[in-house]
Structure formats: structure tokens, C-alpha cells
Amino acid sequence: MLREGPIPRFAHGLLEYAAGVVFVVAPFLFGFHAGAAIALSIAIGVLVILVAATTEGPTSLVNSLQIQLHIALDYTLGAFLVASPFLFGFSDEGGATAFFIAIGVVHLLLTVGTRFLPRRQER
């Protein structure tokens, strides 16, 4: 399963850095009004950048977080993002709700589609 996806691990890492930056600027770029949406978006952005920077791999700055834990965090984050507007009470704000749900679904698809381990050599 960890060797099957079409997305290379390097690309996954770069996309996570980009996603972290998008989360930090999204409240200002898209005009979120709910305080919970603003705070959560910035906190998640910082967390995503931190996880990307500390996971062992080609885009890491510090190889301290094992890839298995990173994968578990990715799945958890994707589900959390989809549920966030309802858990934190900003589901009535259309832009923020759409952003969190869309990014959550894309993050889950990115995780499912990533080849975290190198492909095995055929003998």
C-alpha cells in the first residue's frame, strides 16, 4: 500500500509546505469572518509546516518524525479538516466551510495517492 501511489514522496512534501502557507494566508485571502476559522486555519498551517519539516524524508529539515506517524497524522488531519466547520461552529460561513472541507478531501486524496516507500525492484 505504501509503495503503490503515483505521487512521489518528494512532491507530497513540497505540497505540504505549500498547503501550510495556504492555510496561514487563507483567512486574509478569502476573508474568513469567524474567529474560530481564522485561528484554526493559522494553527493548522503552522502545524502542517512543522510536520513536513520534521518528517524523515527528502523534503525534511530535521529527520525526527517517522513516516508511519506522518501518514497517520495526514489521515487524521484530513478527517479533522472535513469535520472542523461543524466541530468549531463556523459551518454557517460558506467560504471557510468550503475551504476546510475541500482542502480536507484533497489532503486525504493526496495521502492515499502518495508512494511513501520506493517501489520494489522486479527480479
Average pLDDT, the chain: 92
Q: Which of 101, 103, 98, 94 is nearest to 33 (CA)?
A: 94
Per-residue pLDDT, 32: 95
Neighbours of 27 (CB within 10 A): 22
Per-residue pLDDT, 85: 97
pLDDT digits (tens, 9 = 90+) for 52-95: 999 998 999 999 999 999 999 999 999 999 999 999 999 999 99
pLDDT digits (tens, 9 = 90+) for 22-53: 999 999 999 999 999 999 999 999 999 999 99
CA distance 17 to 48: 7
Q: Are 101 and 85 in contact (CB under 8 A)?
A: yes
Cβ contacts of 34 within 8 Å, gap of 6 or more: 88, 89, 90, 93, 96
CA distance 112 to 78: 11
Asked if residue 107 has pLDDT above 50, the reply is yes
User: For the chain, first and last CA: distance in Å?
Assistant: 20
Per-residue pLDDT, 120: 65
